[in-house]
């Protein structure tokens, strides 16, 4: 029997800490809002439910995407759904700069996903799988748009990795 879910090879090593922070902020918001209403004498079951619902919404908004990768695929899980692209069959890559920089990948099968490129830069093991898949896409000729975006990302990630190694070894 074959399963649809690919085996995870690499994941965002900072995700748990970020998720813990999101949950902590939402809990703090909930407790503080309930305490303020209680102190003001206006807390009732309806207001309590409202604050709990708003705290859950804060948690969902702050919860980071969970990025994982394996041979030939990259996946991003949000609280609502999972997006997966085949990195060895990419058709286009676009990077949008600004306040919230994000990378959009689309494969030849019509699947697409968005992710923060800093997640890939901060996780060399996670970056390895998409990088390998991208090279295959370029070799097969499926990647028609965005090879330059990936080249810049590769150079930046490699430079950051070298700088980190030099700092840790005391040479920089």
pLDDT tens-place string over residues 85-141: 999 999 998 888 877 788 899 999 999 999 988 888 888 788 888 888 888 988 898
pLDDT tens per residue, range 140-156: 989 888 888 887 887 88
- Please choose, from the candidates 22, 29, 30, the residue with its C-alpha nearest in 3D space to the C-alpha of residue 65: 22
pLDDT tens per residue, range 37-89: 999 999 999 999 999 999 999 999 999 999 999 888 999 999 889 999 999 99
Residues 73 and 133: beta-carbon distance below 8 Å: yes
Q: Give me the phi and psi of 53, to 5 degrees please.
A: -65, -45
Residues 8 and 70: beta-carbon distance below 8 Å: yes
Beta-carbon contacts of residue 131 (< 8 Å; ≥ 6 apart): 154
Q: Tell me if the pTM is above 0.85.
A: no
Residues 145 and 137: beta-carbon distance below 8 Å: no
Q: What is the pLDDT of residue 45?
A: 95
- Please choose, from the candidates 73, 52, 61, the residue with its C-alpha nearest in 3D space to the C-alpha of residue 18: 61
How far lies 144's CA from each of 16, 83, 89, 107, 108, in Å? Answer: 35, 21, 11, 10, 10
């Amino acid at each position: 029997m074959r399963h649809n879910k690919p085996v995870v090879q690499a994941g965002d090593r900072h995700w748990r800490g970020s998720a813990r922070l999101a949950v902590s902020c939402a809990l703090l918001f909930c407790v503080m809002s309930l305490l303020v209403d209680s102190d003001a004498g206006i807390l009732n079951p309806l207001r309590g439910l409202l604050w709990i619902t708003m705290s859950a919404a804060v948690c969902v908004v702050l919860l980071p995407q969970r990025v994982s990768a394996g041979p030939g695929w990259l996946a991003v899980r949000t609280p609502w759904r999972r997006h997966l692209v085949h990195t060895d069959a990419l058709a286009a890559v676009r990077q949008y700069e600004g306040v919230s920089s994000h990378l959009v990948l689309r494969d030849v099968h019509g699947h697409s996903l968005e992710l923060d490129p800093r997640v890939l830069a901060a996780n060399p093991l996670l970056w390895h799988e998409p990088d390998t898949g991208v090279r295959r896409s370029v070799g097969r000729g499926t990647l028609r748009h965005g090879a330059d975006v990936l080249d810049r990302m590769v150079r930046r990630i490699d430079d950051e990795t070298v700088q980190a190694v030099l700092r840790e070894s005391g040479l920089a």
